[in-house]
Structure 1
Amino acid sequence: MDGLVPIDTVAHDAVERLLDRAFGPDRHARTAYRLREGTVAIPALSFAAVEERRLLGTIQCWPVRFAGDDGRTVPLVMVGPVAVEPDRQQGGLGRRLTAATLAAADAQGLSLMLIGDPEYYGRFFGFTGEATALWRLPGPVERHRLLARGPAVPQGAGAIEPRVTATA
């Protein structure tokens, strides 16, 4: 079972330990975790990188929505976290995981958002902050790190919230 596999084929506690090593145990205090509360990662968009039965990296995607101040609701997928074993970072594994997720999301015509480095996610994956300037999140966020891409990314003021269901 080497290569990229569905994340739900990997033990949940192994994923959690990898996330702790990659981001630290205080990661649960971050705004992104507030957005994921009460949701389940979307299986068709969440992957693990495995080599010789060792978990090397993961990417998870979560069902969120834009609740516009004008009353419209737009389903979105929140990408992340992307986690790679510290001793394997800078080797392209995170890029490979992200590319797999984006290919799956694009095949379904989904619109995506994330909190991340605009230079990296813009350059390699086409994410921008053009539509996100007036979005609100349930916690602090550096505005330039709030990014989106896809066919139905909403413009305007509104809140990003978790969706109740785990389907995109």
Structure 2
Amino acid sequence: MIQMVPIDTIADDAVEQLLDRAFGRDRHSRTAYRLREGTQAITGLSFALVEDDALLGSIQCWPVQVDGDDGSVWPLVLVGPVAIVPERQQEGLGRRLMEAALAAAEGSPPLTLIGDPEYYGRFFGFDAAPTALWRLPGPVERRRLLARGANVPALPGVLGPRRHALA
């Protein structure tokens, strides 16, 4: 039976091996890694799926922020990576993880991610429009930089790791 558990109950090296299998060993050079540099995954929003002690998938959420060109600071939650072992993809496991993270994120700052707009827009309400003026610490396909939430800052600014604690 597949169980959803907090990701902090899974050994870090098991999660790293899963991410290597799902995204390749070169994944650390991607812009998403720069966005969460120096931060820790948000425990209450990050989950794993296990079956018979085998790790099937994981989702992690990270504290990030937009520093507006006007001096404002907007806390956000970066969703991802969502990783599923290759042999179990297309079984809806990623969707289960995403739904768990979204439910846990109710009342949190707005969410952002880098992903497929056709999938994340259609099933989870993410949209690229509010992120159009954000600058990132690396390359990104603009249509893949998505956000979701009532207070997404649709203003010019830099998206990066969160440096300020939430009050």
Alignment of 1:7-22 (within 5 A): 7-22=7-22
Q: Displacement, 1:110?
A: 2.6
- Classify the secondary structure of the residue corresponding to 2:130: coil
TM-score by length of 2: 0.96
Query: Hey, what's the Cα distance between the residues in 2 that align with 1:164 and 1:49?
Result: 30
Check the 8 A contact 1:2/1:49 in 2, yes or no. Answer: yes
The verdict on how the C-alpha distance between 1:129 and 1:166 changes in structure 2, with shifts beyond 3 A counting, is same
Counterpart of 1:151 in structure 2 is 150
Asked if 2 retains the 8 angstrom alpha-carbon contact of 1:48 and 1:58, the reply is yes
Provide structure 1 residue ranges, at least 5 long, that are not aligned to the other structure.
none
Aligned twin of 2:89: 89
The residue that corresponds to 2:51 in the other structure is: 51
Give the corresponding residue for 1:118.
Answer: 117
> How far is the alpha carbon of 1:70 from its aligned partner?
0.8
| 8 Å Cα contact 1:114/1:146 also seen in 2 | yes
Shift of 1:165: 6.4
- Residue type of the alignment partner of 2:125: G
SS of match in other structure, 1:155 = coil
Residue in 2 that maps onto 1:138: 137
For the residue of structure 1 that corresponds to 2:137, the secondary structure is coil
Displacement of 1:15 in angstroms is 0.1
Q: Does residue 76 in structure 1 map to residue 69 in structure 2?
A: no
1:129 aligns with 2:128: yes
Deviation of the 1:109 alpha carbon: 3.8
| Structure 2 unmatched ranges of 5 or more | none
After the TM superposition, which parts of structure 1 deviate over 6 Å for at least 4 consecutive aligned residues?
A: 165-168
CA distance in 2, matches of 1:166, 1:104: 19
Q: TM-score, normalised by structure 1?
A: 0.95
Question: How many Å separate the matches in 1 of 2:124 and 2:114?
Answer: 13
**Partners of 1:47 and 1:127 in 2: how far apart?**
20
- C-alpha distance in structure 1 between counterparts of 2:87 and 2:122, whole Å: 24
For residues 129-162 of structure 1, what are the alpha-carbon distances to aligned partners after superposition, in whole Å with 9 as ceiling and x for unaligned?
Answer: 1101110110000000000001210011000010
Identical counterparts, % of pairs: 69
Distance (whole Å) between structure 2 residues aligned to residue 2 and residue 86 of structure 1: 16
Q: Contact 1:61–1:79 at 8 Å: present in 2 too?
A: yes
Could you list the per-position Cα deviations for residues 3-55 of structure 1 after superposition, in whole angstroms to 9, with x for gaps in the alignment? Answer: 11000000000000000000000000000000111000000000000011100
Amino acid at match of 1:10: I
Instruction: Write the letter of the residue equivalent to 2:136.
Output: L
**Quick check: 1:42–1:166 contact (8 Å CA) kept in 2?**
no
Q: Secondary structure at the match of 1:71?
A: coil
